[in-house]
Amino acid sequence: MESSNGFEEFEKRIGVRFVNKSLLRIALTHRSYINENKGAAREHNERMEFLGDAVLELVITEYLYGKYPLKPEGELTSYRAALVRTETLAEVAGKLKINEFLLLSRGEAKDTGRARQFILANTVEAIIGAIYLDGGYDVAKKFISNQLFKIADEIVVKGAWLDAKSRFQEKAQDAVGITPSYKVISEVGPDHDKKFVSAVFLGKDKVAEGEGLSKQEAEQEAARAGLLAKKWG
């Protein structure tokens, strides 16, 4: 990522040519890289992520408002939440192979799973912020359109806009007539960095477990695992 060739390759991949290459570098720089490489970079991507998050939400809201004129506000809000959630943005990051260009500390580079998903999703938002700063709203909108509008249509058609707990409850009530229940089965770590493991039950039968940084996230992960375990999609 240090060479101009690295920038050019990434620009081709995302379909955007930057005037100010330093904006792209900042967007791809995680806080941990600066902490480990003093003097190598002056700024990480968190402020840019803050900006990109707002641009992304506006573009998605504008698209959904025009695309689905008969849908109520509550449903449109659920569609938008499904599009900007960590899993969706991490999927976009995977398709663009952002991992190959991301500047991370050696420790963070070893992380996988949920922690890496958060980093990748946040980087997508930072890249949107960089595109907006460099080329303006229309260029950012085109990038978001290319990466997310098709996914938006798929989410609506498949009903994937429902969160995992809602989908699991809907499937469970249809298939077995039981409303799922959840129970925290373990808590690990200090208060500032606690991880929860929750299980989802159908009656007395434990279906699956999930881990998260909050009880709510652990329940969502358990429901997601339950959908897979039951092959309910």
From the candidates 49, 125, 134, 163, which is the catalytic residue? 125
Tokens representing 53 are: 């998050």
From the candidates 53, 108, 134, 219, which is the catalytic residue? 53
What pLDDT score was predicted for residue 4? 46
Tokens representing 33 are: 């890289």
Contact 165, 225 (CB under 8 A): no
Strand 195-202 and strand 181-188: the pairing is: antiparallel
Query: How deeply is 88 buried, as exposed, middle or buried, from its count of CB atoms within 10 A (0-12, 13-18, 19+)?
Result: buried
Q: Which of 153, 154, 171 is nearest to 226 (CA)?
A: 171
Helix (H, G, I), strand (E, B), or coil: what is residue 196?
A: strand
What pLDDT score was predicted for residue 20? 95
Known catalytic residue at 111 = no
Alpha helices for the chain (secondary structure H): 4-14, 21-27, 31-36, 46-67, 73-84, 86-96, 106-110, 114-135, 137-144, 150-158, 164-175, 215-230
* Range name among 117-126, 149-158, 199-208 with the lowest pLDDT average: 149-158
Integer CA distances (angstroms), 197 to 114, 184, 207, 208, in order: 13, 6, 13, 10
* Range name among 37-41, 173-177, 195-199, 227-231 with the lowest pLDDT average: 37-41
Tens digit of each residue's pLDDT (9 = 90 or more) over 90-122: 999 999 999 999 988 876 666 666 678 889 999
Known catalytic residue at 125 = yes
* Distance, CA of 195 to CA of 227 (rounded, Å): 22
Domains and CATH numbers, the chain: 4-158 (1.10.1520.10), 164-230 (3.30.160.20)
Q: What is the pTM of this model?
A: 0.71
For 130-141, what is the mean pLDDT?
98
Tens digit of each residue's pLDDT (9 = 90 or more) over 46-59: 999 999 999 999 99
Confidence of residue 189 (pLDDT cuts 50, 70, 90): confident
